[in-house]
Structure formats: C-alpha cells, structure tokens
Amino acid sequence: MMKTISTLLMLGSSALMASAVDTWGGACSFGPTSAHIIESTTTLVAGIPPPNQNGALFLWPGMSNGTGDLVQTTLESYADNSWCGANKSEWCVRASVFGWFGQRDGPAGIVKGTDAVTMNYKLQSNQMTWRQTVTIDGKVVSTLDSDSGPYMKGWGTGTECQDDCSGTVSAQKYTNTVITLDAADPNFSNTLACSQGASATGITNEQGGKIWKIASIDVPAMVR
C-alpha cells in the first residue's frame, strides 16, 4: 500500500511526493530516532470520507525501520465499501502490515466520521512480534500480529491516494499520541517534519526523552 515509507520515515515528510504512483495529502513524521520504538498509541478522528470515491484513499499512522516492514493500521475509502459493511459516509478500518510479502491485513471494522479510533502498536516480549490493536469506544475492532522485528526507527502519519482517488474532504485530528522508545533520545522532537499544512503541537517528553507525547496532529482536508 505504501511502498515509499522508508523515504517518508527516514527523510521526513518532505519526501512524500517521491512516489510516481501515489499522491499524498498532508502528514507529519518523526525519525529516525537514535533509539528504537517499542510502542506507540494514537487516536484518530477522520471525519467523513469523500461522498463519491473515484479510486482508493488510505489514512494511517505508520511505523518502520526504513528497510523492512511498515506497521500501519489503515482507514480506507473505496467506491464501494460494502466489503466491510460500511456505507458511503463511513470508512473501513483494519490493522495491516506492508513488506516484501505484499500487504497482510487483520479483520475489518466500520468507522463513522465522528468515531475516535485508537491504534496501539506494541513490540511483544519475544522482541520480534508487533501486535496491533484497534479500538473504538473501548471495543476491539481489528488486531494483527506480525514478525516485523525490533528496530523501528520512524513514525509518521499518511494520507495516501491511489488510482486518482477523491481526496479527503474532512480534516484529520490525531490526539494523545504516545511514542515509547527503548532508550532516551532527547533530540527525537527535532526530527519532526510536516507537509502540506499539517502540524504537530503540544510535544512533551518524559524520562529524559524515552517517552514522547504529542497532544495533537492536525492534517487539513485535501479538498477545500
């Protein structure tokens, strides 16, 4: 789904236009960190999808080491979203991972425009498996385990448009983002890069830069 994630997360969101196939909306990214990411949590309110979808539109927070898998839960908009039970005013959502094997997905759920979707990615005790857990109002709607390895270096949001898609008509708002590292990186916030009017505010850290919190990431609509 997102074949240029290594460029995005390693070089920052100024590289979003690197793909000749996809086009992009606004985004914010952090990385590379001098440590490794071991957990992240964020909550997204996506607003309503485009009423008439021409292609395929994906919203996601993603995490990568730059050369391996992209761990990403995706909110998805197609011309026909009935495959997940959604109507035209709703999104489909599923935990997902992209790698050398292609795309692998967990079960799908339905997201209303006003829903707050919480996405947690956590490295398990075997130091190899990442577990994605997607919840809405405390109810789990999708999960996925993937052996994506321990060396995650970057985290970023994506607004990805395929097949000449109809762009977002609603602003996206990510809140209560927490990125936990395996060691302190006091300069992690200096790696922030945002594009196309997106912004990240309320950035704080704990334990000398081991835990990073972003109060809000705001991504404007592509169609204004």
Residue 17 pLDDT > 60, yes or no?
Answer: no
pLDDT digits (tens, 9 = 90+) for 28-55: 999 999 999 999 999 999 999 999 999 9
SS3 state at 50: coil
Q: CA angle at residue 36 from 31 to 37, to 5 degrees?
A: 80
Helices vs strands, H then E, count in the chain: 1, 15
Residue 207: count other Cβ atoms within 10 Å of its Cβ. 11
Residue 67 pLDDT > 90, yes or no?
Answer: no
Burial call 96-119: b when 16+ CB within 10 Å, e when fewer: bbbeeeeeebbebbbbbeebebbb
Q: Give the pLDDT score at 224.
A: 63
What single letter denotes the amino acid at residue 85?
Answer: G
* Distance from the Cα of residue 57 to its chain's centroid: 13
SS3 state at 11: helix
Full set of structural domains in the chain with CATH? 5-219 (2.60.120)
Please count the CA atoms within 13 angstroms of the CA of 199 that sit on its side-chain side.
4
Burial of 83: CB neighbours in 10 Å, binned 0-12, 13-18, 19+: exposed
What is the DSSP secondary-structure string of 122-158? EE-TTSS-EEEEEEETTEEEEEEEE---S-B-EEEEE
pLDDT digits (tens, 9 = 90+) for 92-146: 999 999 998 889 999 999 999 999 999 999 999 999 999 999 999 999 999 999 9
Residue 5 pLDDT > 80, yes or no?
Answer: no
Query: What pTM, to 2 d.p., does this model score?
Result: 0.91
Residues 6 or more apart from 139 whose CB is under 8 A from it? Answer: none
Distance separating alpha carbons of residues 197 and 62, to the nearest angstrom = 19
Where do we find the tokens 């704080």?
Answer: 204
Distance separating alpha carbons of residues 121 and 63, to the nearest angstrom = 9
Among 7-21, 28-42, 60-74, 118-132, the range scoring the smallest mean pLDDT is 7-21
pLDDT digits (tens, 9 = 90+) for 201-221: 999 999 999 999 999 999 999
